[in-house]
Structure 1
Amino acid sequence: MDTTTIATALRREIEAGRLLPGTVLKQELLAKRFGVSRQPVRQALDRLLASGLLDRRPDRSLAVAGLTEEQARELADIRAALESMALRGALPTLGGSDLRKAQRLNEDLVEEEDPATLEELDVAFHRTLYGRCGNARLLSMIDELRRESRRAYSRQPKGSDERVILHAEHRAIIDACARRDEAAALQALSDHLQMTTARLTREGE
């Protein structure tokens, strides 16, 4: 197993919330887990450190980094700008079939237990609403930024208040789109992203 494969596996676990902020990653344990020497593990950890997913502690160990409140808000501000642009562009041609699909995805999302599948449903929900904006590059940028918010999914298990709130936030966006009320749709989206920020800043609690 090479450095890239190890780094990718650890990145996915961090983004999915399976490795929580503050978790110390020990080279010897990871080397045993992946069946390799310490060298590729050390190189993989260096990559994650450079990307900001790990922090170096005073004792020189490496631990999973959490998003600071400022970083989470910056991410939410950028997402709000891009996703509002996409929703505004899509709204004039958003059809009934699109809204029904979004509603089905939102109902499926309520019952999902796996954080990774929850992420897929949430991505599909937003893609359904934004897809008709006609700007493939904008959609790609949104998808890339959403990767940085993945850890929020681990904070909303099935049956939790967080999951109920997520469903209600989505419902508010759908209802506003159905009324062709652009201002209300954009406000509902903004409120939704602000709640995502709150989930991210609480991730280390």
Structure 2
Amino acid sequence: MDYVEASLAGQVLGDRSTSGAVVDALRGEIIQGRLKPGERLRQDAVASRFGVSQTVVREAFKDLIRECFLASEPRRGVSVATMSAAEAEEMTRLRSLVEPQALAWAIPRLTAVQFEAAERVLKELDDEKNVDRIILLNARFHRGLYAAADRPRTLTMVETLRLGFERYLRYTWEFTSHRDRSQQEHWELLAMCKQGDVVNACTLLTQHISATGQLLVESLAKQPVQHSS
């Protein structure tokens, strides 16, 4: 039993609702690939597993359907949403609009302490081999730069998009050779931010996001169509 499940079993949920904790647990398993695209989820089985009511699970399913992690089909129930080239393209386009704007607002406010923190993250990324850690550090690097923007609504949008895109990022790291190029661009982006070069930094970030998305779209388009089991 992992930490989230243990918390659910003991009702040690802090400021998270029981339904929210189930959402977090299931979302994490989808992102990590422990729940596969097309895999069906039974409400009673999930309720039994986490020791909660089916009402709680029903609410969790609704949240995950809204987040596009689960899909609901008439008379077939709920299943893990499949990944598609079209969705990858949509999220890439949205990210390429929102994240450069966040960075543009952030760059004039970034401090030496924040630059040092970003550099430490990139040094870890240089040597990291574990996919989970790569995804975590990648998010930490970008989040650390954008945070200085101090635009809560925009940063919430960024986090929502990145969360939805995370299992696509996992696919990128596991099945493509994009890592070296991505990391080189991270270092270049940090250097531009240190120089206060807003225009070129935002241009590079747009290209960085678009290149990852294009690679995903091309890779997913070659995969067999996924069907619910």
TM-score range, shorter chain: 0.7 to 0.9
Using the size of structure 1 for normalisation, the TM-score is: 0.75
Alpha-carbon RMSD: 3.4
Aligned counterparts of 1:25 and 1:12: Cα–Cα separation in 2: 15
Contact 1:90 / 1:130 at 8 angstroms: preserved in 2?
yes
Aligned counterparts of 2:114 and 2:123: Cα–Cα separation in 1: 14
Letter in 1 for 2:138: D
1:137-168 residue CA offsets vs partner (Å, 9 max, x unmatched): 3223322222111113422558x733323312
**Deviation of 1:101 (Å):** 2.3
Aligned counterparts of 2:42 and 2:65: Cα–Cα separation in 1: 13
Aligned counterparts of 2:21 and 2:118: Cα–Cα separation in 1: 34
Aligned counterparts of 2:214 and 2:115: Cα–Cα separation in 1: 27
- Return 5+ residue gaps in structure 2 as ranges: 1-7, 9-17, 224-229
Contact 1:11 / 1:48 at 8 angstroms: preserved in 2?
yes
Contact 1:24 / 1:62 at 8 angstroms: preserved in 2?
yes
Contact 1:149 / 1:200 at 8 angstroms: preserved in 2?
no
2:170 aligned residue: 154
Using the size of structure 2 for normalisation, the TM-score is: 0.68
2:102 aligned residue: 86
Q: How many residues align?
A: 204
Letter in 2 for 1:113: N
Aligned-residue identity in percent: 31
2:22 aligned residue: 6
**Deviation of 1:20 (Å):** 3.1
Contact 2:106 / 2:145 at 8 angstroms: preserved in 1?
yes
1:6-51 residue CA offsets vs partner (Å, 9 max, x unmatched): 3432122113433232333345654554356767656644553454
1:108 aligned residue: 124
**Deviation of 1:105 (Å):** 0.6
- Return 5+ residue gaps in structure 1 as ranges: none
SS at match of 1:161: coil
